[in-house]
């Protein structure tokens, strides 16, 4: 039994084995949390509350397992929350969605010469929920997919988790498995195979610094060329053009950041269970440029084909033409800096 007291504390009342032959049951009380401002909701064996300018979500099963009665009066328990989201002084959580995707809060605004205004604000927390389930291994990856795949924020959550793990150089095998399961689930419901996976990975790459990408490429079977090849197979011009331009930038970053290392020598390090390997550029997928004339022709063919055959509004077709022209402008700069003739090859291929 959990009790929320007038002192803003949450106590747990539980039965303990009797110390004598008495048939009267014995109970003890343990304080789990203090300074709890408000209990927002209880959903699917989770309790959502506000404490110390944070929205916290706890698994009630963790409360059930906690029986340390030696906790000091002014000390919170050691039960870890599965979500801890900082909230500002101007917002106050009022409800959380049933699928744990977002919490809604009231935000108070004041502008000089006007009255106070209250507005509803959505805060996305699904990425924290999913990441917590992955780390604790309380739920099977397939069950996570079935539980959250219908949320419109699920792709964002997967992208956010992958980006964080790459930036922090943590093992990301579990989130890649979850991305593959989601892609498979969507393909069963009508999406093209690999489409959702490509969107998530490409969004991840675009939102983190290019000098961090090598950790992703070195510790998975993902390569720039493979991503571009998959986009060509999908005939997805918008995604393909964007990826090509970010990979052109990646080559510039690689060439600027690379330092000469004798061939055959390596530097290895290990962090969070992922072994990373640093070698000279004469290795693996770095032996040749990501970009070549044939690939650029394929990209432009897809972009032009998408523009010409677009069945949607004229604005959608214009977007593909704009991407094609933007790619040509980008290639001109790339040719000038790298003494290549990709622009000429591209224009000749489409005339």
Buried b (16+ CB within 10 A) or exposed e, 32-59: bbbebeeebbeeeebbbbbbeeebbbbb
15: exposed, middle or buried (C-beta count within 10 Å: 0-12, 13-18, 19+)? exposed
Q: What is the pLDDT of residues 297-334, one digit of tens each?
A: 777 777 777 766 665 556 556 666 676 777 777 677 76
pLDDT one-digit tens code per residue, 241-270? 777 767 766 655 555 554 433 323 334 444
User: What's the rounded Cα separation, in Å, for the pair 147 and 206?
Assistant: 28
Determine the pLDDT at residue 53: 85
pTM, rounded to two decimals: 0.73
| C-alpha to C-alpha distance for 327 and 304, rounded to whole angstroms | 12
Give the pLDDT band of residue 172 (cuts 50, 70, 90). very high
Mean pLDDT, rounded, for 31-38: 88
State yes or no: pLDDT of 158 exceeds 80: yes
Give the model's confidence band at 18: pLDDT under 50 very low, under 70 low, under 90 confident, else very high: low
């Amino acid at each position: 039994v959990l009790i929320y007291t007038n002192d803003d504390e949450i106590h747990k009342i539980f039965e303990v084995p009797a110390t004598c032959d008495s048939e009267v049951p014995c109970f003890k009380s343990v304080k789990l949390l203090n300074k709890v401002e408000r209990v927002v909701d209880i959903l699917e064996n989770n309790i959502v509350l506000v404490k110390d300018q944070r929205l916290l979500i706890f698994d009630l099963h963790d409360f059930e397992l906690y029986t340390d009665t030696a906790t000091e009066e002014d000390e919170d328990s050691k039960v870890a929350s599965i979500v801890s989201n900082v909230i500002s002084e101007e917002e106050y959580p009022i409800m959380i969605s049933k699928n744990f995707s977002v919490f809604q809060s009231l935000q108070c605004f004041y502008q000089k010469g006007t009255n106070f205004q209250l507005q509803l604000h959505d805060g996305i927390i699904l990425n924290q929920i999913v990441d917590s389930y992955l780390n604790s291994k309380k739920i099977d990856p397939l069950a996570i997919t079935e539980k959250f795949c219908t949320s419109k924020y699920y792709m964002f959550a997967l992208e956010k988790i992958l980006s964080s793990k790459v930036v922090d150089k943590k093992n990301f095998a579990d989130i890649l498995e979850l991305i593959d399961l989601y892609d498979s689930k969507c393909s069963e419901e009508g999406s093209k195979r690999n489409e959702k996976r490509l969107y998530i990975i490409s969004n991840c790459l675009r939102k983190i610094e290019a000098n961090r990408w090598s950790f992703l490429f070195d510790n998975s079977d993902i390569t720039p060329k493979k991503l571009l090849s998959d986009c060509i197979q999908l005939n997805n011009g918008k995604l393909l053009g964007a990826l090509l331009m970010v990979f052109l930038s990646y080559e510039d970053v690689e060439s600027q950041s690379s330092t000469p290392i004798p061939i055959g020598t390596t530097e290895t390090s290990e962090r969070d269970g992922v072994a990373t390997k640093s070698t000279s550029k004469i290795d693996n997928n770095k032996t040749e440029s990501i970009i070549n004339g044939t690939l650029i022709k394929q990209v432009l063919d897809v972009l032009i084909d998408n523009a010409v055959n677009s069945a949607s509004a004229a604005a959608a077709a214009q977007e593909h033409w704009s991407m094609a022209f933007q790619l040509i402008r980008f290639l001109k700069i790339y040719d000038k800096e790298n003494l290549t003739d990709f622009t000429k090859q591209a224009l000749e291929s489409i005339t």
